[in-house]
Amino acid sequence: MSFFNSVTHHPEDPILGMEVAFKADTRPEKVNLGVGAYKTAEGTPQVFSSVRKAEKLLLEKNLDKEYLPILGNAHYIKESEKLLFGEDSPILSTNKICSAQSLGGTGALRCGGELLFQNNISKNIYLPDPTWSNHWNIFAKAGMKISAYNYYDKTLHTLNFSGMKKSIENMPAQSVILLQPCCHNPTGITPSLEQWKELSILIKNRKILPFFDLAYQGFDQGLDEDAEVVRHFVKSGHEMLVALSYSKNFGLYGERTGLLSVINQDETTSESIRSQLKHIIRSNYSNPPLQGQRIITTILQSKELKEEWVQELHSIRERIHKMRKELLCGLTQKTEPNRFQFLTNQTGMFSFSGLNKAQVHKLEKNHGIYMQANGRINIAGLNSKNIHYVIESILAVI
């Protein structure tokens, strides 16, 4: 008898499993709109020129490969906090902020969840309906009880703001609410700044703890604009957690580089929070990776490289806007004028296409176009070579 007879087969991750199926598809016209990674106009992974230059500079320094501190490199943390909260943010000169380098945004979310659960801060977290599917896995494995709150109106293809507020009003005090401040995954729909300000007041009055997942800073309007919601909550005196990912905006998917920041109003508790974060990290992966933070720190500390990186992000935003507009125009020309108008209100890499599960299945089976079953598409997967084929294929299944 094997010790492992009790192990059952776990289903493939719906997103990463799709990548396997796509690669096995032999049709030359196939298109992958499912995976959550930016692709260039040529359909290849984006490698930033600023990143390549930083890597060259680092190679020339002949640096060692010693362990980082458990919480990560102090210079990296400082530069990341400035990028997230603003260089002139008063919070940075206080002891109210505790930050740790993390294994991408996913690692920041998981460490944050374990901090909340293990220290009895809260065992209840509310996720938007819908949200990135892995959010459920992350917080469940951290031990938290997960519930959903109203977010998206499937009929009108827009934000269900009144339903969102009602959900928050019914949340028990001391609960945690997960919020995506820009480029909501998977819908592409986020509240306006005025709506965020209203939510800030409501969340604070209800004594709810915000946990921001900022995975796409720079992909909507700009680096500062995309962090404005987080900065407003800080100015409004919220305690909060923020998970920051550098996978998309630096193209460092495989380097697993991110940040977890905890804002608290009682400065005397900061050292206790840091000690708990160290304990969580030490017993999990011991300390964070070296190379990704070196690349990011090099760019953020260099005026020239940072300017180049910001311009590259601008070009990415422009291409995504262009592809979304072309998709809408192509679909509108051959359908009712308002059928896909909701696409104009979506931002970031992702879009809820409005296609149902059966239509998504037909697209994959008959046309070799891959997307999530809920109809989420990666706008960055579109380019001048495939967009007309995608449009014609969508029209064929609807």
Query: Catalytic site residues?
Result: 132, 213, 248
3-state class (DSSP) for residue 199: helix
Q: Distance from CA of residue 160 to its chain's centroid?
A: 20
CA distance 268 to 272: 8
CA distance 84 to 93: 14
3-state class (DSSP) for residue 349: coil
CA distance 150 to 349: 22
From 284, 233, 292, select the one nearest 261 (Cα to Cα).
233
* Distances 284 to 71, 114, 135, 279 between C-alpha atoms, Å: 12, 11, 19, 9
CA distance 81 to 172: 31
Q: Which residues pair with 102 in a beta bridge?
A: 258
The tokens for 331 are 């679909």
Looking only at Cα atoms, what is the longest distance across the chain? 65
Is residue 73 within 8 A of residue 247, CB to CB? The reply is no
CA distance 95 to 263: 9
CA dihedral over 91, 97, 100, 105, signed as positive or negative: negative
* Distances 349 to 38, 49, 189, 390 between C-alpha atoms, Å: 7, 21, 11, 16
Q: Distance from CA of residue 207 to its chain's centroid?
A: 25
